[in-house]
C-alpha cells in the first residue's frame, strides 16, 4: 500500500521552547558531572537527577552516554572555535602577526568566556582537559579541537619557516595545557601568593610564559 504521507507529517517538527530549555538543562548537568567525575564516573541517572528530569528524557535529548558526552563537548567547541578564528582574522588585518598576537587570539576568547559566561564555561575547561588526557577520545578531540589548533599552528609555522612543525605543535599543546591549568587550578596560584581571582587578568603573563617556551624549543 503506497498511501501518500500527509505533508505535515513529512516535515520535521521544530523543537518547542520548553524542549530546548530541557535539553540545555540536561546538557549543562552532563557537562558539570562529566567535568567533575569523568565519563566513567558520571551516570545517566546522576545526570537526570542533577537536571531534575526523568532518565528517559536524558536519553531522548542526548542519546547514549557516549553520544551525550560528544554533544556536550562539541556544543561549546564550535562557539569557541569561531571566536578564536575571528579574533585571529581581525588581528591579521591590523598588520603582521607575532607569536604573542597569535597566542592572545587563542587564549583571550576562552579566558573571557571563563570569566563572563558563568560556571559552565569553567567546567568546560576541565572537560577539555579530560578529553585531551584520555586517548579513547582521540577521534572526538580531532573533530572538535584539531581544525582550529591546526590553523593556529599554521600561523605560528609561518613565523618560523625553518622550525620543525612537530616542535611547534608540541609547544602549542604545552601552551594549551598551561591555559587549562590556569582556569581549573587558579586557586593554587592564589594559595601560593597571587591575590588575583580572575583568569583574564593573567592573560599577559600566560602569553609571555608560552611565547618564551615555544621560542626556546624552536631555538634549542
CATH of residue 134: 1.10.357.10
Per-residue pLDDT at 11 exceeds 90: no
Q: Quick one: CA dihedral 60, 69, 67, 153, positive or negative?
A: positive
Q: Is the same domain home to 81 and 58?
A: no
DSSP state of 201: G
Q: What pTM was estimated for this model as a whole?
A: 0.83
Mark whether 168 and 191 lie in a shared domain: yes
* Residue range 81-109: mean pLDDT, rounded: 97
Beta-carbon neighbour count of residue 161 at 10 Å? Answer: 6
Q: Please say if the pLDDT value at position 190 is more than 90.
A: no
Name the residue among 132, 113, 106, 122 with its Cα closest to residue 214. Answer: 106
Which range, 83-92, 133-142, 177-186, 193-202, has the best average confidence (pLDDT)? 83-92
Lowest mean pLDDT among 60-64, 85-89, 99-103: 60-64
138 and 168 housed in the same domain: yes
Domains of the chain: total? 2
Domain that holds residue 208: 73-218
Q: Does residue 112 share a domain with residue 57? A: no
Confidence of residue 77 (pLDDT cuts 50, 70, 90): very high
Phi-psi region of 95 (alpha: psi -120 to 50; beta: other; left: phi over 0): left
In 3D space, the residue among 214, 200, 22, 208 whose CA is nearest the CA of residue 114 turns out to be 200
Q: Is residue 1 part of a domain?
A: no
Tens digit of each residue's pLDDT (9 = 90 or more) over 100-147: 999 999 999 999 988 888 888 888 888 988 898 889 999 999 999 999
**Same domain flag for 159 and 85:** yes
Q: How far apart are CA 187 and CA 202, in angstroms?
A: 13
Within this chain, do residues 164 and 135 fall inside the same structural domain, yes or no? yes
Looking at the fold, whether 56 and 79 belong to one and the same domain comes out as no
Whether the predicted pLDDT of 84 surpasses 70: yes
End position of a domain, from candidates 7, 31, 63? 63
Separation CA 92–CA 98 (nearest Å): 9
Residue 3, pLDDT above cutoff 60? no
Same domain? For 53 and 102 the reply is no
Mark whether 187 and 127 lie in a shared domain: yes
Query: Does pLDDT of 169 surpass 50?
Result: yes
Is 5 inside any structural domain?
Answer: no
* Predicted local confidence at residue 47, as pLDDT: 94
Amino acid at each position: 500500500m503506497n498511501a501518500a504521507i500527509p505533508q505535515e507529517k513529512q516535515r520535521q517538527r521544530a523543537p518547542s521552547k520548553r524542549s530546548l530549555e530541557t535539553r540545555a538543562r540536561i546538557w549543562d548537568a552532563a557537562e558539570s558531572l562529566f567535568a567533575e567525575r569523568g565519563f566513567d564516573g558520571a551516570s545517566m541517572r546522576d545526570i537526570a537527577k542533577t537536571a531534575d528530569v526523568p532518565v528517559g528524557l536524558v536519553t531522548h535529548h542526548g542519546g547514549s552516554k557516549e553520544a551525550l558526552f560528544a554533544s556536550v563537548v562539541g556544543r561549546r567547541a564550535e562557539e569557541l572555535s569561531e571566536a578564536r578564528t575571528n579574533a585571529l582574522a581581525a588581528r591579521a588585518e591590523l598588520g603582521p602577526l607575532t607569536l604573542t598576537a597569535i597566542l592572545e587570539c587563542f587564549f583571550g576568547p576562552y579566558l573571557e568566556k571563563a570569566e563572563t559566561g558563568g560556571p559552565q564555561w569553567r567546567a568546560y575547561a576541565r572537560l577539555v582537559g579530560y578529553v585531551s588526557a584520555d586517548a579513547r577520545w582521540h577521534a572526538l578531540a580531532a573533530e572538535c579541537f584539531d581544525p582550529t589548533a591546526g590553523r593556529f599552528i599554521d600561523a605560528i609555522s609561518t613565523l618560523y619557516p625553518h622550525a620543525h612543525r612537530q616542535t611547534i605543535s608540541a609547544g602549542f599543546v604545552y601552551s594549551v595545557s598551561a591555559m587549562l591549568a590556569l582556569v581549573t587550578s587558579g586557586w593554587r596560584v592564589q594559595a601560593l601568593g597571587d591575590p588575583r581571582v580572575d583568569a583574564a587578568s593573567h592573560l599577559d603573563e600566560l602569553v609571555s610564559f608560552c611565547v618564551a617556551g615555544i621560542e626556546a624549543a624552536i631555538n634549542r
